[in-house]
Amino acid sequence: MPTTHPHPHRPRWRSLAILALLLAPLLWPLQQLAERYYSGVLVEQNRQTLDLYVANLLGTLRRYEVLPPILADLPAVRLALRQPQDHSVRHAANQLLSQVRQQTGADVIYLMAADGNTLAASNWQQDDSFVARNFSYRPYFKEAMHGRPGRFFGLGTTSGKRGYFFAAPIREGQQILGVMVVKIDLDHTETLWGQRPEQLLVTDSYGVVILTSQAQWRFHATRALDNVERATIADTQPYRVQSPPPLQLEANAWLRQERPLEDIGWTVSILTPQAQLDRPVRTAVAVGGSALLLLIMLLGLLMQRRRHYLERIALDSQARQQLEQRVLERTLDLERLNSRLRQEVLEREQAQQELVQAQDELVQASKLSALGTMSASISHELNQPLAAIRSYADNAGVLLDHQRGDDVRANLKLISQLTERMASIIAHLRAFARRDRHAPESVALQPAIDDALALLAKRRQAMQVELIRDLPNATLWVQAGETRLRQVLGNLLANALDALSEVPQPRRLWLSAELTAEGVDLHLRDNGPGFSQEALQRAREPFFTTKTSAQGLGLGLAICDTLMRALGGELLLANHPDGGAQLTLRLRAADQGIKTQSPEDFVV
Ligand code: ADP
């Protein structure tokens, strides 16, 4: 069954949740920071706006502030005060005021008598003319009548327009004859504001909104009014309403900045919708959040890559360790195998030794059994010369009786020859039956050949046998016994001379050596008659001979074969293609040794 993850999406959701958890505490300070920054920018902007507006407002007010005292000194005005009943004087005053109004841009300019009645006004021709109306209840009139410059904000009782009133007393000596008033229209200062998201608010000393870009806020109280204030308001009627309702502004919806105008007791405020601040903050948080998210994701990616890298390293090192472990195990196995092999080799060597020993014993046993089987022929071999010796001896006695000394001597010589032959037979048998326990040693081949040749040199020369020798100059070292090797070589050379004696001249004997993988093959070839078919098969058997009993015993090759095998070598019999026998001694190579003469006897 294939192994699939039961919840493949879980890790992704989990990492997203972790990401969100990481982001949340980072976003909060980011928002604080953005808020602080943007509110700072906003405050600075609003401050500039406020400055501008306040400067504009104060500029407007101050422009008219100086007008009433100047007008108060004009002779036409004073004359109108002195002669209020004179129609032409009042007409002149009306015209003057209307002229000045036109030139200064004031809303209304009017002259009030000490009782509060309006004597002349710039709007004398209009329906809502101030002329003959009494404004003595207005605070600016009261102030001026007390000799102080009067100021007042209020709604025009006839026009309904918001206006600011500047009043100045008109003196004559200590007496105050009347009051000169300039009313300016403030409605237009609102329109200057335009369609801005920030809202403007001018409150008077009661905290009542008198100028605002929001019509619904107008004449609403921004703070609670006490009873005295309420009474004053009712008395002076500055607003359209007798009791201004409270202004209800959502606490968190607006950011407020204000500037008090000390001289006139007003406060100019600028209200910025909170949204105005929220928008850039939200954008900043979104941008910052995205950047942070990207950063965290990048960090996550980096960490993941690092984890993968570390995992790979760990895997690599694990694999290496496993490999080392395997190599170690393999080495141990090999060592175990090696020691087992060594043990096996030892056992094998031991077995081989035992085998060699067994073989040796077998050979010995077979020799003994051969001796047993050949005892008959031995006794036959020995009985023949013995019988001959007896007959020669008997015969010698008879010859001695007949004084035939020479014949006796001849008989004795024959007897001696026969004993020699018998000794030879016995010596051969001894050599064959002897159990050779000498271990092979390093023997130099060429000197052994030289020795064997030297022993037969006389006979060879007599037979005029040509020796063709093809041996390397460098000494060839072989595993053998000094004496045994000479014995073998002597036997083979003697056999070759025997064979050559059967053929006429030219008689040749070849000696050559061939290096093989195991050691040296020494070839002995003659151009005699060669082995007969039967001899090739049986020549190694003890007592096989094709020679007369006087010439051979048939033990030579049997002894040579046994000796060679005991030395770890081999004796090969063959006929050369060009005729004649070729015998090969297969000898094993040996380390270079020292040429020593063996204590063994040389037996032929
Ligand atoms: P022996 O020489 O006493 O006969 P060997 O065992 O030495 O006994 O030889 C056995 C026989 O092998 C010989 O009788 C002979 O027939 C044959 N033989 C040995 N050497 C040669 C040779 N060089 N050429 C031909 N025949 C050989």
Q: Strand 581-588 vs strand 477-480: parallel, antiparallel, or unpaired?
A: unpaired
From 34-48, 59-73, 426-440, 493-507, the region with the lowest mean pLDDT: 426-440
What separation in Å is there between the alpha carbon of 371 and the centre of ligand 1?
Answer: 20
Largest CA distance in the chain: 239
For residues 300-313, give the mean pLDDT.
91
- Asked whether the predicted pLDDT for residue 426 surpasses 50, the reply is yes
| C-beta of 490 in contact with ligand 1 (< 6 A) | no
For tokens 């407020």, the residue is: 256
State both tokens at 570: 């081999």
Using a 10 angstrom Cβ sphere, with 0-12 exposed, 13-18 middle and 19 or more buried, the burial of residue 207 is middle
Q: What is the pLDDT of residue 549?
A: 61
Predicted confidence (pLDDT) at residue 434 exceeds the cutoff of 70: no
- Read off the pLDDT of each residue in 529-557 and give the average, rounded to a whole number: 83
From ligand 1's centre to the CA of 493, what distance in Å? 11
Output the pLDDT for position 362: 67
CB of 553 within 6 A of ligand 1: the answer is yes
Mean pLDDT of 386-405: 87
**Which atom of ligand 1 sits closest to the CA of residue 540?**
6
Range 437-602 classified under CATH 3.40.47.10? no
Ligand 1 closest atom vs CA 499: 24
Domain boundaries, the chain: 66-186, 437-602
* Spatial distance between the Cα atoms of 458 and 456, rounded to a whole number of angstroms: 6
Residue 38 has pLDDT above 60, yes or no: yes
Q: Please say whether the beta carbons of 256 and 277 come within 8 A.
A: no
Q: Who's near 395: CB < 8 A, 6+ residues apart?
A: 411
d(CA 257, CA 276): 14
The pick from 374, 492, 498 for probing ligand 1's pocket by mutation, whose C-beta has the most ligand atoms within 8 angstroms, reads 498
- Nearest-angstrom CA–CA distance, 508 and 471: 16
Protein residue whose Cα sits closest to atom 20 of ligand 1: 495
pLDDT for position 531: 93
CA distance 68 to 326: 115
CA of 428 to the centre of ligand 1 (A): 15
Torsion angle (degrees, nearest 10) of CA 173, 174, 179, 182? 70
Under a CB-based contact definition with an 8 Å cutoff, are residues 153 and 237 in contact?
A: no
Q: For residue 438, what pLDDT is reported?
A: 61
User: If pLDDT is split at 50, 70 and 90, which confidence band does 597 have?
Assistant: very low
* pLDDT score of 189: 77
pLDDT for residue 7: 46
Asked if the model's pLDDT at residue 539 lies above 50, the reply is yes
Answer yes or no: is the C-beta of 539 below 6 A from any ligand 1 atom: yes
CA of 429 to the centre of ligand 1 (A): 17
| Residue 495 Cα to ligand 1 middle (Å) | 6
547 lines ligand 1 (CB under 6 A): yes
The rounded distance, in Å, linking the Cα atoms of 379 and 385 is 10
| Range with the poorest average pLDDT among 55-59, 188-192, 255-259, 596-600 | 596-600
Query: Rounded to the nearest whole angstrom, what is the distance from the C-alpha of residue 26 to the centroid of ligand 1?
Result: 117
Stretch 130-157: mean pLDDT: 89
What pLDDT shows up at residue 430?
Answer: 66
Tell me the two tokens of residue 341.
Answer: 């092999």
* pLDDT(386) > 90: no
- φ/ψ of 261, rounded to 5, equals -105, 100
Answer yes or no: is the C-beta of 528 below 6 A from any ligand 1 atom: yes
pLDDT band at 5 (very low <50, low <70, confident <90, very high): very low
Full-prediction pTM beyond 0.75?
Answer: no
3-state secondary structure of 545: coil
| Probe residue for ligand 1, chosen from 557, 575, 585 as the CB with the greatest number of ligand atoms within 8 Å | 557
Least confident piece of the model among 153-167, 466-480, 489-503 = 153-167
The residue contributing the CA closest to ligand 1 atom 4 is 545
Strands 465-470 and 507-515: parallel
CA pair distance 34, 144, nearest whole angstrom: 54
* Length of the chain (residues): 604
Q: CA angle, corner 244, sides to 240 and 246, nearest 5? A: 145
- Helix, strand, or coil here: 418? helix
* DSSP string over 354-391: HHHHHHHHHHHHHHHHHHHHHHHHHHHHHHHHHHHHHH
Whether ligand 1 lies within 6 angstroms of the CB of 560 is answered as no
* Cβ(554) – ligand 1 distance below 6 Å: yes
Helix (H) or strand (E) holding 478: strand 477-480
What was the pLDDT predicted at 601?
Answer: 40
Residue 425 Cα to ligand 1 middle (Å): 16
> What are the strands, taking DSSP E only, across 297-448?
441-444
**How much is the mean pLDDT over the chain?**
84
Answer yes or no: is the C-beta of 556 below 6 A from any ligand 1 atom.
yes
* Three-state secondary structure call for residue 327: helix
Q: Is the pLDDT of residue 246 over 70?
A: yes
Q: Which of 425, 495, 540 to mutate to test the pocket of ligand 1 (most atoms within 8 A of CB)?
A: 495
Determine phi and psi for 108, rounding to 5 degrees: -140, 140
Given a contact cutoff of 8 angstroms between Cβ atoms, the answer to whether 276 and 196 are in contact is no
Q: For 372-384, how does the pLDDT look when each residue is reduced to its tens digit (9 = 90+)? A: 655 655 665 677 6
Atom of ligand 1 nearest to the CA of 583: 23
**How far is residue 199's CA from residue 269's CA, in Å, rounded to a whole number?**
8
291 or 190, greater pLDDT: 291
How many Å apart are CA 357 and CA 355, to the nearest integer?
5
- Rounded Cα gap, residues 210 and 559, in angstroms: 156
**C-beta of 181 in contact with ligand 1 (< 6 A):** no
Is there an atom of ligand 1 within 6 Å of 165 CB?
Answer: no
Q: Examine the pLDDT at 365 and tell me if it is beyond 70.
A: no
In the prediction, which pLDDT does 467 show?
Answer: 92
Residue whose CA lies nearest to ligand 1 atom number 8: 554
CATH 3.30.450.20, domain 66-186, yes or no:
yes
Cα first-last separation, the chain: 90
CB 439 within 8 A of CB 402: no
Instruction: Give the separation between CA 363 and CA 529, rounded to whole angstroms.
Output: 32
Sign of CA dihedral 35, 37, 39, 41: negative
Distance (Å, whole) CA 13 – CA 324: 42
Tell me what pLDDT residue 335 has: 93
Taking the C-alpha atoms of residue 266 and residue 58, their distance in angstroms, rounded to an integer, is 11
* Ligand 1 close to Cβ of residue 211 (< 6 A): no
Q: Which atom of ligand 1 is nearest to the CA of 580?
A: 24
Distance from CA of residue 491 to its chain's centroid?
A: 82
- Return the ligand 1 atom nearest residue 496 CA: 23
Q: What pLDDT does residue 176 have?
A: 92
HEC readout, 247-278 = CCCCCCCEEEEEEEECCCCEEEEEEEEHHHHH
- DSSP state at residue 208: B
Q: Give the pair of three-digit tokens for residue 487.
A: 């014995």
**pLDDT band with cut points at 50, 70 and 90 for residue 213:** confident
φ, ψ at 130 (rounded to 5°): -80, -15
**Tell me, what DSSP letter sits at residue 195?**
S
Centroid of ligand 1 to alpha carbon of 499 (angstroms): 8
CA dist 223 and 218 (Å) reads 14
Ligand 1 pocket residue status of 481, Cβ below 6 Å: no
pLDDT at 540: 86
How does strand 254-261 pair with strand 108-113?
unpaired
Tokens representing 445? 């081949």
Nearest CA to ligand 1 atom 11: 545
Residue 472 has pLDDT above 80, yes or no: yes
User: Minimum mean pLDDT among 106-120, 376-390, 498-512: which range?
Assistant: 376-390
pLDDT digits (tens, 9 = 90+) for 54-105: 888 888 888 899 999 999 999 999 999 989 899 999 999 999 999 999 999 8
DSSP code, position 161? -
